[in-house]
Structure 1
Amino acid sequence: MADGFRFGAGPAPEVLAYLDGRGLSQSFDWRDNYGADHAYAFTVAKATQVEVLSGIHDEVQRAIREGLPFDAFRKSLAPKLKKLGWWGKRAEIDPKTGETVISQLGSNRRLKTIYWANTRTAYGAGKWTRIQRTKAALPYLIYRLGSAREHRPHHADKENIILPVDHPFWTTWYPPNGWGCVCWVRQITQAEAESLGGVTDPPEIATTPWTNKRTGETRDIPVGIDPGWDSNPGKERHRTLAKHLAGHLDAAPDHIRRAAMTDLVGSQAFRRVANGELAGHTVFAPAAVVPESVATAMGSTTRVAFLSTADAAKQLGKGRAFGPEFYTNVQALLDSGEIRADRSRKDSTDFAAAGLIGGAWWRVVFRVTKAGDEIFLKSFRRSSENQIESYRKRGEQLSN
């Protein structure tokens, strides 16, 4: 694999934002985190030790932030992985099958793959954010081949395709489109698009079924794109992450879901969202698990509620007088408080939980999206007994 990818003296702010919003994900096999999950969670197959995964993650971030070439990345990371015992081949038990397999852990070749995949993905996601911000002046993308000696035929067929920024084509055919792919896109003006022959007729995207042997899931992927690379790493990445995470939590046993939520609300990522540190970026942090009966009554297909950066900013703007650690009270209100639908607005999809915690009244308001597939925490504040009594008139009681 040619080591031809380089960052400049420092990556664009959009690339750093992508890194800041990307979490850690442990996996034994790359297929355990397939497709879109790769864009939203940093994962290295068989790096199941948190210390190993964190070490790789930190070095990848440093390489991108400082514009380090692969040799510098390898020289810094390899000794650390060897010290942790994550190097060479080793017999391991596959947690999914229970079988003993010989696993290739760290190696120079694996480090090159890790470096390439993560730098290219981060760059692509950051570039997509910039494309969205400037699409009024530069409304088109043109598909270009990279500097590889040979190109995949289906990639070569896409060269010089010109389509609007928001055309569905870019949902899957946005580089990189496979392991080692060095294709790229250039954003252009309408005048340049016309000078190059105008907008291309959208190509027919042939697909082929591919079965993930780890999960049993079968999905259609575009012919010419490697499995796992058929998603745009920057397109609505945080909303997609939220839906994927909600799906995983919804499917988990209740005690695991609750334990995971406690860890998530206490995480640095949640604190950064709640404190407004990621203002200007679209990030969704899991905040609580809604009782099943309440989710059903409100027409929601998920039980996981998220706090968005936009809603956190509104709460801060209204003078929120407490720190993010108080958001642990949100789950307590859902577990033991009084939950009511809020029918004060026509076609309202809001519901609220209220109660006494530590001698003080609290109230939290949630909103279910019209599609019913997302729940957002819209308001969280201290209240009073008189206010709670007034709120009781707004809708029927749902729980407790």
Structure 2
Amino acid sequence: MADRLIPRQALEYIRNKKLRPAFSYKDVWNEEHATAFTVAKAMQLDVLSDIKGAVEKAIENGTTFEQFKKELKPTLMQKGWWGKKKMTDPLTGETIAAQLGSDRRLKTIYSTNLRSAYQKGQYDRTMESDLHPYLMYRIGPSLRHREQHVRWNNLIRPKDDPIWNYIFPPNGYGCKCYTVAVTEARKQRYECDGVPAYDPGARKTVRVPVHTEAPKMTYKVYENVRKGIIERIPAGITPGFNWNQGKSDRVFSLMQALAKKLGADSDIANFDFLKTVYDNQIFRTSFQSFVDKSFSGQHKGTEITPAGFLNAAVVRWLKNNAGIDVGTNTVIGLESRLIKGIKATRHGIQKNDAEILLDTMLNGKVYWSRDGNGNKAKDSLVYLFPVNENEWFQIAVRPEAKVNGISAPFIRSVGYKPNSTIENMMNQLTEIK
């Protein structure tokens, strides 16, 4: 890993993770790893922080494992997190001889985190590229490979194929598999001539065939008793790795990609399609989960989720009347900091407001509000939707904003307004039709 270029996204992926002490690796499961940095039996925050800091440094500097171990091992030994010690499982009350730090565990921590971060960066760059519509699965330089991983070697499938939700590497501890972004022209060349691969027996590079047909998946049932989860896991995938490292936390980016494909000047059919996507129960459940996690404190304020989109009429009006060209950035984002469970923000929403917020975004009337003091930075779109006979729900949206490096319209405030206030507001707003 040290000799590979680490994308910026890879370092941010690790840096944005929050410390999550856990007794067992089963306590933090699948997609939870996207936002949580954890090491089994590392129950002390200072120990976990030291390990995370060392991983971040290794990713940023391309540090070899030997250097990583040399710098981290003395610190862990000094703090008593080394060798075997008796620990009590907080879930079961059982006392066991727990393995804390060891050279082997450091190797696992190093390789798993670096490879996960690299693949996250690789996935982000591939999904953002219009030139690379495919991903190719490649096995790594291990002496021995898992049988199923060998079968997936040199598999080329569209980058949005659902199969990557299950087999995107790494797919287990010590797995060195990775993906490569592939253009249409390169895919055709590989299909014709094969892909170059080093043959250790012949000690030279040869060309081996690729395969493009979706493989037939077989599954096994696995129960994580600590989480109360029973799931079907594809053969060849280690339990706990049954998720896409790259796709995690990419709901917003995926919605942006969908809106971009449809075009900013979407016709009514495309508008109805996007509306159907946002109104789908699966999306609504995901949105409610985002609100719940923000309210409970699992989200810390910097996370974002799609909450709506600018339709074609709004996009054209902004360009022609407000001099604002949003381009293809039409997906409207909501920051978790606006959920009132995080802090007492007067512009935030309550836990039970998720449904009405989406209804307002999809079905509300849209207006343009100019700042009374002429500050264009405070000009905003206003979405209004009647809640009952006495009040309305109001959402103010900044049409141009940048949050966490993402340029898009973002919600700036939400709230309920009585009829009298709305009537006065409408006299000062410009309706967009």
Distance (whole Å) between structure 2 residues aligned to residue 246 and residue 293 of structure 1: 9
Partner-residue secondary structure (3-state), 2:237: coil
Normalized against structure 1, the TM-score is what? Answer: 0.66
Q: Structure 1 298/190 Cα, relative in aligned 2: closer, same or farther at 3 Å? A: closer
Q: Which whole-Å deviations, capped at 9, do the CAs of 1:323-353 have from their partners, x for residues lacking one?
A: xxxxxxxxxxxxxxxxxx94179xxxx935x
Runs of 4+ in 1 over 6 A off after TM superposition: 243-246, 296-300, 363-366, 384-387, 391-394
Q: Structure 1 393/100 Cα, relative in aligned 2: closer, same or farther at 3 Å? A: farther
Partner-residue secondary structure (3-state), 2:180: strand
Instruction: Determine which structure has greater relative contact order: mean sequence separation of CA pairs < 8 Å that are 6+ residues apart, divided by chain length.
Output: 1
**Residue 272 of structure 2 corresponds to residue 214 of structure 1:** no
- Give the corresponding residue for 1:343: 385
Distance (whole Å) between structure 1 residues aligned to residue 73 and residue 286 of structure 2: 32
Unaligned 5+ segments in structure 2 are: 193-210, 253-284, 304-332, 342-348, 360-374, 399-408, 428-433
Partner-residue secondary structure (3-state), 1:97: coil
Q: Aligned partner of 1:343: which letter?
A: F
- Give the corresponding residue for 1:6: 2
- Give the corresponding residue for 2:377: 319
Equivalent residues in 2 for 1:44-63, closer than 5 Å: 44-63=39-58
Unaligned 5+ segments in structure 1 are: 271-281, 301-316, 322-340, 353-362, 367-375, 395-400
Q: Structure 1 150/27 Cα, relative in aligned 2: closer, same or farther at 3 Å? A: same
Percent of aligned pairs sharing the same letter: 33
- Give the corresponding residue for 2:216: 204
- Give the corresponding residue for 1:312: none
- Give the corresponding residue for 2:413: 380
Distance (whole Å) between structure 2 residues aligned to residue 385 and residue 343 of structure 1: 12
Instruction: Note if contact 2:55-2:114 (Cα within 8 Å) is conserved in structure 1.
Output: yes
Instruction: Note if contact 1:24-1:54 (Cα within 8 Å) is conserved in structure 2.
Output: yes
Measured on the aligned residues, the alpha-carbon RMSD in Å equals 4.1
Distance (whole Å) between structure 2 residues aligned to residue 179 and residue 208 of structure 1: 18
Q: Structure 1 219/88 Cα, relative in aligned 2: closer, same or farther at 3 Å? A: same
Distance (whole Å) between structure 2 residues aligned to residue 244 and residue 150 of structure 1: 40
Equivalent residues in 2 for 1:141-156, closer than 5 Å: 141-156=135-150
Give the counterpart of 1:95 among 90, 115, 137: 90
Q: Structure 1 365/319 Cα, relative in aligned 2: closer, same or farther at 3 Å? A: closer
Partner-residue secondary structure (3-state), 2:232: strand
- Give the corresponding residue for 2:127: 132
Q: Aligned partner of 1:149: which letter?
A: L
> Alpha-carbon deviation of 1:233?
0.7
- Give the corresponding residue for 1:66: 61
Equivalent residues in 2 for 1:163-312, closer than 5 Å: 163-197=157-191, 200-237=212-249, 239=251, 247=289, 250=292, 260=297, 264-265=300-301, 285-288=336-339, 289=341, 290-291=349-350, 294-295=353-354
> Alpha-carbon deviation of 1:30?
0.7
Instruction: Note if contact 1:208-1:221 (Cα within 8 Å) is conserved in structure 2.
Output: yes
Q: Structure 1 392/245 Cα, relative in aligned 2: closer, same or farther at 3 Å? A: closer
> Alpha-carbon deviation of 1:212?
0.5
Distance (whole Å) between structure 1 residues aligned to residue 143 and residue 334 of structure 2: 39
Q: Which whole-Å deviations, capped at 9, do the CAs of 1:220-246 have from their partners, x for residues lacking one?
A: 111111111121111142549xx9997
Normalized against structure 2, the TM-score is what? Answer: 0.61
Partner-residue secondary structure (3-state), 1:31: helix
Instruction: Note if contact 1:145-1:156 (Cα within 8 Å) is conserved in structure 2.
Output: yes
Q: Rg larger in 1 or in 2?
A: 2
> Alpha-carbon deviation of 1:45?
1.0
> Alpha-carbon deviation of 1:393?
8.4
**Residue 99 of structure 2 corresponds to residue 104 of structure 1:** yes
